Amino acid sequence: MVNRRTRLAAAISLALIVAAVVPAVAATPRNATLTAKGGTVFKPNRFIGDGMRFGRDVTTMKSGGTLTIRNKTREPHTFSIVRRSQLPRTARQAERCTVCEAIGKAHGVPENGEGPPTIPLVDKGARGFSRPGESVVFGPKETLKVKITARTGRTLNFMCAIHPWMQGKLAVRK
């Protein structure tokens, strides 16, 4: 009898745990936050590297939601939507980043790369970020909000045109 009651109690508590955990995991948040963080990494007799990155590799949110971009670094970045094939995959590709030049040009950076961006926001077509070519520049310690209007089911690839190894995916889900 005691044993049975214990088993029942265990089953009930398991059910309660499942009920509490499963919906939290399954539900897609409407809005999301993305951070730019990190800095220089130094290892004597090994390397000095730039460890700046986006806080998450994959961010999931809903279409129509707001993406808050928080820059925790002391450098400017861009949040630029690109095609997957445009993402640099090697150090060499990052150094000769063709898409970065195109993004810079769209932001009004002079041809020689010397000069600040004069067009901070490139938002094609309907308002909100939905497709490759759309990009925003944000300064040190700045926080900004962009509306994500890509249709449900799409996964956008994004990167920073200033630090081309900073890359991530934005999954737009229902």
Which positions touch Cu ion (CB under 5 A)?
A: 77, 160, 162-163, 166
Query: What one-character-per-residue DSSP string does 41-104 give?
Result: EEETTTEEEE--EES-SEEEE-TT-EEEEEE-SSS-EEEEEE-GGGS--SHHHHHT-HHHHHHH
Q: What is the DSSP letter of 28?
A: P
Element (H, E) at 168: strand 167-172
Q: How far is the CB of 138 from Cu ion (least distance, A)?
A: 9
The type of residue at 138 is F
The type of residue at 150 is A
Nearest one of 100, 99, 52 to 76, comparing CA atoms: 52
Q: Which is nearer to Cu ion, 146 or 149 (CB)?
A: 146
The edge-to-edge listing of strands for the beta sheet with 58-61 is 58-61, 167-172, 155-159, 77-82, 135-138, 121-122
Q: How far is the CB of 84 from Cu ion (least distance, A)?
A: 19
Q: Which is nearer to Cu ion, 77 or 107 (CB)?
A: 77
CA–CA gap between residue 142 and residue 71 (Å, rounded): 5
Q: Which is nearer to Cu ion, 28 or 35 (CB)?
A: 35
Q: Which is nearer to Cu ion, 34 or 63 (CB)?
A: 34
Q: Which is nearer to Cu ion, 38 or 65 (CB)?
A: 38
Q: How far is the CB of 163 from Cu ion (least distance, A)?
A: 3
Q: How far is the CB of 167 from Cu ion (least distance, A)?
A: 10
Q: How far is the CB of 153 from Cu ion (least distance, A)?
A: 28
